[in-house]
């Protein structure tokens, strides 16, 4: 059952990547950069989940375990922060250049290595994931009246990705590093975040065609 949860998560993350990739071509360059950052988060999740699912079925060796640990650590530290930040940037209508997302990804990796050197890995993991969660909370509040669908999807993402850590007193997204029954929470969490990204990207693009600022206030004014 645990293996099935991971394989479903991997398949769902890959399907969501394909869905976002199809929508990317109709968006302006800044929105495309944000979508690519969200796809990085989903691909890391899909890779880690697939390797964990294979390991649960006994198809594991030293190489697979090493690759899974690398992907799992990357997904733990980048998936929620990237998805949350993408939602906030698109929701506020900020037009970040695509290169900024590359710098953010490199920064997350660099500070992770620094946290290892300082032996503050658990604190850093909580910090980056709570920052991602805070972005989702802000988007939920901003869109609670303008588009309830986005608020619901962000709440689903928050609950699915953070609730296991809070309920079981573990690190955030621990199921992406070690096989765990809590993996079943991740599917609705990542689906909610990815669908919110897609809706926000489309709205940001449409509003950007008519005004230099897009966001809930602009939407209500129009």
What is residue 94's predicted lDDT score, i.e. its pLDDT?
87
- For residue range 77-128, list pLDDT tens digits in order: 999 999 999 999 999 888 888 899 999 999 999 999 999 999 899 999 999 9
- pTM, rounded to two decimals: 0.89
Give the tokens for residue 26: 């109709």
The domain segmentation of the chain, as residue ranges, is 2-221
pLDDT score recorded for residue 198: 92
Q: Are 76 and 172 in contact (CB under 8 A)?
A: yes
More confident residue, 28 or 100: 100
pLDDT at residue 211 greater than cutoff 70? no
Query: What's the CATH fold of domain 2-221?
Result: Rhopdopsin 7-helix transmembrane proteins (1.20.1070)
Residue 23 or 85, more confident: 85
- Mean pLDDT calculated for residue range 179-197: 92
Task: Report pLDDT for 59.
Answer: 66
**Residue 167, CA atoms < 13 Å, CB-side half-sphere:** 9
């Amino acid at each position: 059952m645990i293996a099935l949860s991971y394989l479903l998560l991997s398949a769902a993350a890959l399907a969501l990547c394909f869905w976002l990739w199809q929508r990317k071509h109709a968006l302006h360059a800044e929105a495309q950069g944000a979508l690519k950052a969200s796809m990085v988060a989903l691909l890391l999740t899909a890779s880690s989940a697939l390797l964990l699912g294979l390991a649960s079925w006994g198809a594991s060796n030293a190489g697979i375990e090493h690759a899974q640990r690398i992907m799992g650590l990357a997904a733990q530290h980048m998936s929620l922060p990237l998805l949350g930040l993408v939602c906030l940037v698109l929701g506020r209508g900020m037009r970040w250049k695509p290169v900024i997302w590359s710098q953010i990804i490199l920064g997350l990796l660099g500070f992770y290595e620094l946290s290892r050197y300082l032996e503050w890995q658990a604190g850093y993991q909580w910090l980056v994931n709570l920052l991602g969660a805070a972005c989702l909370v802000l988007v939920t509040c901003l869109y609670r009246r303008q588009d309830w669908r986005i608020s619901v999807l962000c709440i689903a993402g928050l609950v699915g990705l953070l609730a296991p850590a809070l309920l079981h007193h573990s690190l955030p997204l621990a199921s992406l590093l070690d096989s765990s029954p809590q993996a079943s929470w991740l599917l609705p969490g990542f689906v909610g975040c990815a669908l919110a990204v897609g809706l926000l990207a489309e709205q940001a693009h449409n509003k950007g065609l008519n005004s230099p600022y897009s966001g809930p206030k602009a939407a209500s004014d129009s």
